[in-house]
């Protein structure tokens, strides 16, 4: 691999709470085992809806966040705090008096596609039923789109900056891209980056269903998310959070941190085509991947793995397959593609961070998690997907891309390498 034009950012800590597990280790084990986190919705409102399946976090946040604290935090933020604390401790760092990091060098970049939805809708219910005097005074700091980023900032004591990028389902990949920029620009030495989402509520499910965006395989939840399979009929809404601790190499080495791998760079583009439909030609998606390669100093031939956006929608999956092939050219033949959404469902604004974490672990463990439910691949599928079984990766230096695309035409590709890459 040739010399990088800009310095690498190293990954020193990771955490997650997902439909597959209450922490990253259990989530990763479930991914390798090809488990599905999708279940039937049993809440009293479900029978009214055409879609009655979703991916709830495996461990409810009430098991980790005490009741009084939880009253002031939207579920979206509770999940972020759980993932962020796991990542921070995993990085070998302490909290409170045991926190060794200079706050002025610490930033947070943590995105959410929608924000404090349960608070917004729940307090509107309170207002309508009991009047404005009964609305909690915590409503605004709970529902605001930056609430999770700001609360994570308070948790880890970040004073350099706190950012909350919002770009629908690309939000947390954009957060990682922004974190890379902040470190390269010298604005921070260490950044807590990731995403969170908690929108399992009848309104968004009903609204996504009205767009014909969701799978209606209500009788078989575990088989509902099936990227590139001919039987796919839409994505499955899930909740959760994933967070990474990113540092400049010098910052990590100065404190003797363990290193999982690097974020070599990122590429951002916009389709500029339609507010919800991806450009069917996939040009914007390809541009994001090409920019990620240039930003990282990587060649297409360096890429061995792509964690695709792959949401299990009829149009989106095949558009992305074409985009990957266009961006990587003949090198696409050697690339193992997967969509971990086949198991997790779609975490919207948290998807990019969770899938970046999965990409980092795939390179570190040299094992790509499978795309489950792929039994009847779409005709003309031009990419090699790790269907139903994990796929081993070769020895040596490895590089991969993680794609996230969002309503609004947002495309963000993050380039990851394993820890031993020397360029």
Partner 1 sequence: MATTEEIRAQLAELVNDVAGVPVEDVQLDKSFVDDLDVDSLAMVEIIVGCEEKFGVTIPDEESKNLKTVGDAVAYIEQHS
Q: Least distance in Å: CB of 204 to partner 1?
A: 27
Whether 265 and 296 have beta carbons less than 8 Å apart is answered as yes
Site membership for partner 1, residue 125 (CB under 8 A): no
Instruction: Go through 81-95 and write b for each residue having 16 or more CB atoms within 10 A of its CB, e for each that does not.
Output: bbbbbbbbebbebee
Phi and psi at 123, nearest 5°, equal -75, -25
Q: Report how far residue 311's alpha carbon sits from residue 348's, in angstroms, rounded to the nearest whole number.
A: 10
Q: Least distance in Å: CB of 127 to partner 1?
A: 13
Nearer to partner 1, 69 or 230 (CB): 69
Whether 321 and 207 have beta carbons less than 8 Å apart is answered as no
> How many residues bind partner 1, per CB under 8 A?
11
How far apart are the two ends of the chain, measured CA to CA in Å?
5
Whether 26 and 196 have beta carbons less than 8 Å apart is answered as no
- Which residues face 194 on adjacent strands? 110, 243
Site membership for partner 1, residue 128 (CB under 8 A): no
- Decide if 169 is catalytic: yes
Nearer to partner 1, 134 or 230 (CB): 134
Q: Which of 80, 87, 73 is nearest to 191 (CA)?
A: 87
Binding mask 295-324 toward partner 1 (x if CB under 8 A, else -) reads: ------------------------------
- Decide if 109 is catalytic: no
Nearer to partner 1, 135 or 300 (CB): 135
Nearer to partner 1, 68 or 275 (CB): 68
Nearer to partner 1, 67 or 128 (CB): 67
**Annotated active-site residue in 163, 251, 305, 346:** 346
Site membership for partner 1, residue 68 (CB under 8 A): yes
**Annotated active-site residue in 169, 201, 251, 410:** 169
Q: What is the dihedral of CA 324, 330, 331, 333, to 10 degrees?
A: 80
Q: Tokens 């009991």 map to which residue?
A: 130
Site for partner 1 in 133-152 (CB under 8 A): 133-134, 136-138, 141
Q: Least distance in Å: CB of 400 to partner 1?
A: 45
- Which residues face 268 on adjacent strands? 412
Site for partner 1 in 184-243 (CB under 8 A): none
Whether 60 and 49 have beta carbons less than 8 Å apart is answered as no
**Annotated active-site residue in 163, 201, 309, 410:** 309
Q: Least distance in Å: CB of 89 to partner 1?
A: 24
At 268, which helix (H) or strand (E)?
strand 261-270
The residue range among 36-44, 131-139, 168-176, 298-306 that interacts with partner 1, by the rule CB under 8 A, is: 131-139
Q: Which residues are catalytic?
A: 169, 309, 346
Residues that bind partner 1 (CB under 8 A): 66-69, 71, 133-134, 136-138, 141
């Amino acid at each position: 691999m040739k010399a990088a034009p800009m310095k690498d950012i190293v990954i020193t800590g990771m955490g997650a709470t997902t439909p597959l597990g209450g922490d990253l280790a259990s989530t990763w084990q479930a991914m390798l085992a090809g488990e599905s986190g999708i279940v039937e919705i049993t809440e009293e409102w479900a029978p009214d809806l055409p879609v009655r399946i979703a991916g709830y976090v495996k461990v409810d946040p009430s098991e980790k966040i005490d009741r009084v604290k939880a009253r002031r935090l939207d579920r979206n933020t509770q999940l972020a705090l759980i993932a962020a604390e796991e990542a921070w401790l995993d990085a070998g760092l302490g909290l409170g008096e045991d926190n060794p990091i200079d706050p002025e060098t610490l930033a947070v970049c943590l995105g959410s596609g929608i924000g404090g939805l349960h608070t917004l809708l729940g307090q509107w219910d309170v207002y309508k039923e009991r009047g404005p005097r009964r609305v909690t005074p915590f409503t605004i700091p709970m529902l605001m789109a930056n609430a999770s980023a700001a609360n994570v900032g308070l948790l880890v004591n970040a004073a350099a900056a706190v950012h909350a990028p919002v770009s629908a389902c690309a939000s947390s990949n954009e957060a990682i891209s922004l974190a890379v920029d902040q470190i390269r620009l010298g604005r921070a030495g260490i950044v807590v980056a990731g995403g969170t989402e908690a929108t399992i509520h009848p309104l968004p499910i009903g609204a996504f269903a009205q767009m014909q965006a969701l799978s209606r395989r209500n009788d078989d939840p575990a088989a509902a998310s099936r990227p590139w399979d001919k039987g796919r009929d839409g994505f499955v809404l899930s909740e959760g959070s994933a967070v990474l601790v990113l540092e400049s190499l010098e910052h990590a080495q100065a404190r003797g941190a363990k290193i999982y791998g690097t974020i070599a760079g990122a590429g951002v583009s916009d389709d500029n085509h339609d507010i919800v439909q991806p450009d069917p030609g996939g040009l914007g998606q390809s541009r994001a991947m090409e920019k990620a390669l240039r930003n990282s100093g990587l060649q297409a031939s360096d890429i061995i793995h792509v964690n695709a956006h792959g949401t299990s929608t009829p149009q989106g999956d095949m558009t992305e397959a074409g985009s990957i092939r266009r961006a990587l050219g003949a090198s696409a033949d050697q690339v193992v593609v997967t969509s971990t959404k086949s198991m997790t469902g779609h975490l919207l604004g948290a998807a990019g961070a969770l899938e970046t974490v999965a990409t980092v672990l795939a390179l570190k463990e040299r094992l790509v998690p499978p795309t489950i439910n792929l039994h009847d691949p779409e005709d003309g599928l031009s990419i090699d997907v790790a269907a139903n079984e994990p796929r081993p990766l070769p020895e040596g230096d490895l590089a991969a891309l993680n794609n996230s695309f969002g309503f609004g035409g947002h495309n963000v590709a993050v380039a990851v390498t394993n820890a031993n890459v020397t360029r």
